[in-house]
Chains A and B, each alone.
Chain A
Amino acid sequence: AQKITQTQPGMFVQEKEAVTLDCTYDTSDQSYGLFWYKQPSSGEMIFLIYQGSYDEQNATEGRYSLNFQKARKSANLVISASQLGDSAMYFCAMRLRGSNYKLTFGKGTLLTVNP
C-alpha cells in the first residue's frame, strides 16, 4: 500500500522568504502522480502543483515548485517569496495509475507566514 509522510507538523517563514515543505512517499509502483494541495482555515482544498513519476523536469507553477527526487522518493514543495496569504495547511498526496484516481494524503504541514 502507498504511504505519504510529511514530517513537519508546523513551519514558520518570514514574509518574502522561501520555504520548503517536505514530503516523502512509499510505493512499489513505477507509475504514479504526486500532488500538493493548500487548505486555508476556511476548509477548501486548492490544487497547487502536480508531478508525474516519469516527468524528468521538476514541476513549477508560479511561486510553487516541486523538488522531485525519485531515487529518494521525495517530492518537496518550495514556495518562493512567501506571502501572508500563504498561511494554511499544505497536504502532499499521491495517486497510483490504475487506482481509479484515488488520492492518498499525508498528514499535512501547517505553514505560518510572519510579517
Chain B
Amino acid sequence: GAVVSQHPSWVICKSGTSVKIECRSLDFQATTMFWYRQFPKQSLMLMATSNEGSKATYEQGVEKDKFLINHASLTLSTLTVTSAHPEDSSFYICSAKVPTGDTSPLHFGNGTRLTVT
C-alpha cells in the first residue's frame, strides 16, 4: 500500500512554455503533499507544501508565480512550471503522508526529470 504515482517521468520542453506535473496518491487520501526539487548529485530541497482545498505554502526563495501548485482533491496535486527556462531543468519529486499517525513516513513518487531547451 501507500503508493504515490507521479507523471510524467521525464519531459523535455522549450524555453517559455509551461509544464504540468501530476502527483497522485493511489490507495490513500493525502490532505498534504510536498514538492521537492533535486539538482544532480545534491539533496532534496523542499519547494512547497500542498494543502488540499487551500493555497500552497512555499518555502523561502521559491517563486510561487513560477511554480503553481494546485491540490484540488485528496488524491491529486499538480505542479506547473510556468514560462520554463533552462535553469528550471531539474528533478522534481512529490511526496505524501499516509494519515495514520505522526511516525509514518512520507511516500514519494518516482520523480519527474524536466529538461528545458
A binds B: yes
Inside 8 A of A42's CB, which chain B residues have their CB?
A: 110
Residues 88-117 of B, flagged 1 when their CB comes within 8 A of A and 0 if not, give: 000101010100001101111111010000
- How many Å lie between the Cα of A75 and that of B74 in the bound state? 33
Residue A12, interface by CB 8 Å: no
Cβ contact within 8 Å between A103 and B93: no
Do A107 and B103 touch across chains, with their CB atoms under 8 A apart? no
Bound together, the chains give a CA A96 to CA B25 distance in angstroms of 23
A91 touches B108 (CB 8 A): no
Number of interface residues of B (CB under 8 A): 21
Q: Please classify the interface of chain A as helix (H, G, I), strand (E, B), loop, or mixed, using the class held by over half of its residues.
A: loop
Option from B93, B102, B105 in Cβ contact (under 8 Å) with A97 = B102
A to B contact number (C-beta, < 8 Å): 54
- Which of B16-24, B39-47, B64-72, B78-86 lies at the interface with chain A? B39-47
Q: Which residues of B contact A (CB under 8 A)?
A: 32, 34, 42-44, 46, 49, 91, 93, 95, 97, 102-103, 105-111, 113
Given contacts A43-B91, A107-B43, contact A100 B106 (CB under 8 A): no
Q: Which residue of B lies closest to A97 (CB)?
A: B102
7 interchain residue pairs of minimum CB distance: A45-B108, A43-B111, A47-B105, A44-B110, A105-B43, A107-B43, A105-B44
Asked if B97 and A101 make an inter-chain contact with CB atoms under 8 angstroms apart, the answer reads: yes
Residues of chain A having any CB pair with chain B under 8 Å: 33, 35, 37, 42-47, 50, 52, 91, 97, 100-108
> Distance in Å from the Cβ of B78 to the closest Cβ of chain A?
19
Sample 30 A-B pairs with CB under 8 A, ordered by A number.
A33-B102, A33-B103, A37-B108, A43-B91, A43-B111, A43-B113, A44-B109, A44-B110, A45-B44, A45-B93, A47-B105, A47-B106, A47-B108, A50-B103, A50-B105, A52-B103, A91-B43, A100-B32, A101-B34, A101-B97, A101-B102, A102-B34, A102-B46, A102-B49, A103-B46, A104-B46, A105-B44, A106-B43, A108-B42, A108-B43
